[in-house]
Amino acid sequence: MNGPRACDPSLQRGGGTSQQPAVVFRLYYPDVIAIDRYAWAAPASAAGLALAGLALWRGRISLVDGIVEAQGPALAWVLSHLVPLRGGAAAMTFGHVVIARDVECLEGSRAHERVHVRQYERWGPLFIPAYLAGSVWALLRKRHPYFGNPFEIEAFR
């Protein structure tokens, strides 16, 4: 982000050209990293978008801080009946897409699900196999496959 001085042309006259590469680097470097993160997580995001389509029926899809968030009664049914947890899940993340039962579930789980988004950005298409391996690892250590999963432990911190 730039302060208002960056918009004032009188302050930019006579600026040394030797400063320009550093400025260009600062402006574009974060964008390149962001594109990489989205691309790396894209397979999971694609699956999430397909599921998010269920929110078109009496639900809502919105974009919050670069993350697609979807909720509605069809997703509530999926999360309560098809997630192998007692009582189901309030929300679930697929890459840069979060699906939830309703608005309250989206808001209540946002901080937790954002950690999972960061995990997808690190692991990309390997995240789901790694997550399942985390549950097996927890079971082998006689811990709960969900609460003992290292990815969940990080997200609940």
Q: CA–CA separation, 87 vs 41, rounded Å?
A: 28
Determine the Cα angle at 98 with ends 127 and 85, to 5°: 70
For residues 46 and 153, which CB has a smaller minimum distance to Zn ion in the complex? Answer: 153
Question: Rule CB under 5 A: is residue 100 a binding residue for Zn ion?
Answer: no
Convert residues 123-152 into a mask of x (bound to Zn ion by CB under 5 A) and - (unbound). -----------------------------x
b/e map 26-42, b = 16+ CB within 10 Å: eeeeeeeeeeebeebbb
- By rule CB under 5 A, what count of residues binds Zn ion? 2
Cβ-closest position to Zn ion: 155
| CB nearer to Zn ion: pick between 6 and 153 | 153
Closest approach of Cβ 146 to Zn ion, in Å? 8
- Nearest approach in angstroms of CB 116 to Zn ion is 6
Q: CA angle 148-116-63, nearest 5°?
A: 150
Q: How far is the CB of 106 from Zn ion (least distance, A)?
A: 14
89 near Zn ion (CB under 5 A): no
- Residue 155 makes contact with Zn ion by CB under 5 A: yes
Q: Is the CB of 49 or the CB of 152 nearer to Zn ion? A: 152
Residues that bind Zn ion (CB under 5 A): 152, 155
